[in-house]
Structure 1
Amino acid sequence: MNLVSVRLITDDVKRLVAFYERALRTPASWSTDDFAEIRTPTGTLAIGSTRTVGLFGPGAARPADNHTAIIEFLVADVDAEYARLSPGSPMSSPCQQPCPGATGPCWCATPTVLCSTSSHP
């Protein structure tokens, strides 16, 4: 079995795609106005409109109401990435926390976590 993608459901596909394109520095591939994928060497992030939820059954997902997923990224400089991504992003205010596999500080900004690969202050 192969993991194909992780899909996020949103009422504002363009806004969420724009954020993750900026975060991953990778352009999305759009299938329709309701669905896009951002493919990276380590996985694919799929972003779908609430109009696509019916394909999976009524109530299969609710936008902005998922309290079971956390998306983590390893970065060289947490503070610089947070400053780059925070304007106009869906990220909340950061809180510092330990991050598995990270060698430096970690900022959690729900639903995205930035974990440092270096031990900068």
Structure 2
Amino acid sequence: MRMPNNRFVLFAVLWFIAAVYSLLFRESDGGAPPFAHFDKVAHFALFFAQFWLLAKAFMQDRLAVPYRLLFVLAVLAAAGSETAQALFTRTREGSIADGLADVLGACAALWLADRVSSAKRVVKKPLNADKAV
């Protein structure tokens, strides 16, 4: 499998570093969230952005997006993230619901990437490709 080499790879790496910092090294201030289950929305959005950037890196270089590999990576990252929060932070806790929100965010991003890739293939198809000459 050929790996992409474009700005979206850099964005994905920077996003990952920011996520690790915000989830593990920056302790929660204990303030009230803006609305109920705000943390689930934040987990969903965090993983959506991460896996959209990864998929976009492949699409930008016109490579096949490895959906299964990215899904497995999402599950492992979610499990690792929640385990690390449970073990290494004082003000955060690991949660199966947060892990599920992580995986759902990644799945939504991968689904969107598949839809975008499919739409691009249809648009690039020649208009008279269906008709035999």
Question: What TM-score do you get using the length of structure 2 for normalisation?
Answer: 0.25
Would you tell me which structure has more helix in proportion to its own residues?
A: 2
**Which gives a bigger RCO, structure 1 or 2 (Cα 8 Å, sep 6+)?**
2
Question: What TM-score do you get using the length of structure 1 for normalisation?
Answer: 0.27
Structure number with greater Rg is 2
